[in-house]
Amino acid sequence: MRIVMTRGAGEKEFVRLEQEVRTLGLTPHRIRDADRNILTVTGNVGSVHQDRWDRFRCFVGVAEVGAIASRYKLASRDAKQTDTVIEVRNRTLGGNRFALIGGPCAVESREQILRTAEGVKAAGGQFLRGGAVKPRTSPHSFQGLGEEGYRLLHEAGERFDLATVSEVVDAETVAMARDHVDIIQVGSRNMQNFSLLTMVGREAKPVLLKRGASATLEEFLLSAEYILAAGNDKVILCERGIRTFSSFQRNTLDVSIIPEIKMRSHLPVLADPSHAAGKRDVIHPLSRAALAAGADGIMVEMHDQPEQAKSDGPQSLHPEELVDLFGDMIRLAPWFDRTI
């Protein structure tokens, strides 16, 4: 359910409503939507008789009471009609901004991440990505540097004034990332790891959630709902390609889901063309397509020496290629009413 407050409603009215909602065994969530304050109610809403909901219309400060049709109550446009905008170290994700995120698949050494961060900064990027832990298909593949990787990423971000993004996989890595990373990433393989989603939902930092390789749109948004329901309203979605019948790319970038999400949800959505393509020569055109489709940014892989990368070398751009790509995005963004 959604309870829309009048413009003059204050803290006293909010608190009284929240108390009443909790007496029903339900959970209230405060949402600011443009010039409106909204109380979205989650839980077993169907167990409450309609008469009880009608009573809320009599409360001081209540403008309207209505149901939210979609299963993802907090992520939906019904809950919030204006776009969510997330501020991270004076950078913006969402709204009319287009974010440029670059960096290696994995943090491999201090020298490597510092050189790569310098390249991201020189190309015009605002965010540095890099994996400290790498959930790999094979147990024999490079698994990341762990806590050292988070520390090195933090150092590189501080030196080149870049906000940082890195993946977590469990409680231990969430604790490691908490002091070193600006945005916590939940990877494709963990999109439906509901205990992990609830865990990062209790964190204060923004969470970047990647779509699973075979996840439907509703499953994707319901995974975001777990994070929102746990109390974290700073959620960023990322389309990174899905598994299809295509045999010439690693995955297929589902460009069509970007405008669909924009219609159904207020959350910002990024595109990751690197993991979709699996090869560097199509990252540039896929990035253009993502911008045109309405994405709020791109996250691409770049390595200072891709031929020596310990993971995902073939899909990692060279530094000069990142300069070309980000430069193109900066030139094209105004055509789509975006700024960098």
CB 131 within 8 A of CB 159: no
- For residue 274, which phi and psi values (nearest 5 degrees)? -65, -50
More confident residue, 42 or 150: 150
For the stretch 169-210, pLDDT in tens is 999 999 999 999 999 999 999 999 999 999 999 999 999 999
User: Do 185 and 60 share a domain, yes or no?
Assistant: no
Rounded mean pLDDT, 97-124: 95
How far from 225 is each of 194, 221, 330, CA to CA, in Å?
10, 6, 32
Same domain, 249 and 205: yes
Residue predicted with more confidence, 244 or 98: 98
Containing 269, the helix (H) or strand (E) segment is strand 269-271
Summarised one tens digit per residue, pLDDT across range 261-298 is: 999 999 999 999 998 888 889 999 999 999 999 999 99
Say yes or no: 31 and 177 in one domain: no
Residue 251 has a pLDDT of: 84
C-beta atoms surrounding 257 within 10 Å:
21
Residue 73 lies in a domain: no
Same domain, 195 and 291: yes
90 lies in the same domain as 158: yes
Overall domain count for the chain:
2
CATH number of the domain bearing residue 28? 3.30.70.1140
Instruction: Tell whether 10 is covered by a domain.
Output: yes
Does residue 10 share a domain with residue 141?
A: no
CA distances from 92 to 35, 97, 329 (A): 20, 7, 16
Which pLDDT does position 249 carry in this prediction? Answer: 80
The reported pTM is 0.91
CATH number at residue 315: 3.20.20.70
Q: Per the domain annotation, does 32 fall within a domain? A: yes
* pLDDT tops 90 at residue 24: no
Percent of the chain with pLDDT over 70: 99
Q: 299-333, pLDDT tens digit by residue? A: 999 999 988 888 777 889 999 999 999 999 999 99
Whether residue 149 is found in the same domain as residue 235: yes
Mean pLDDT of 29-53: 79
Is there a domain that residue 293 lies in?
A: yes
Q: State residue 248's pLDDT score.
A: 81
Q: Domain check: are 101 and 59 in the same one?
A: no
Q: Is residue 203 part of a domain?
A: yes
Q: Has residue 66 got a pLDDT over 90?
A: no
Tell me the CA distances in angstroms from 155 to 107, 180, 181, one per residue in order: 12, 9, 10
Q: Which of 199, 198, 231, 193 is nearest to 215 (CA)?
A: 193
| 16 and 149 together in one domain | no
Quick check: is 75 in a domain?
no
Contact 204, 221 (CB under 8 A): no
Q: Are residues 33 and 167 in the same domain?
A: no
Q: Flag the least confident range among 13-27, 48-62, 167-181.
A: 48-62
Find the distance separating the first CA and the last CA of the chain, reported in whole Å: 37
Mean pLDDT of 165-169: 95
Structure tokens at 337: 């009413």
In a domain, 214, yes or no: yes
In a domain, 27, yes or no: yes
Report the DSSP beta bridge partners of residue 197. Answer: none
pLDDT over threshold 70, residue 140 = no
In Å, what is the CA distance from 214 to each residue of 22, 263, 308? Answer: 37, 21, 31
Distance, in Å, from the CA atom of 212 to the CA atom of 30, rounded to the nearest integer, reads 29
Indicate if 150 and 218 belong to the same structural domain: yes
Bigger pLDDT: 303 or 1? 303
Q: Write down the pLDDT at residue 123.
A: 95
| Structural domain harbouring 247 | 86-336
pLDDT band at 148; cut points 50, 70, 90: very high
pLDDT value at 70 more than 90: no
* pLDDT at residue 188 in the model: 94
- State the average pLDDT for the chain: 90
Q: Residue 334: pLDDT above 70?
A: yes
Q: Report the pLDDT value the prediction gives residue 50, as an integer from 0 to 100.
A: 80
pLDDT of residue 6: 81
Same domain flag for 123 and 44: no
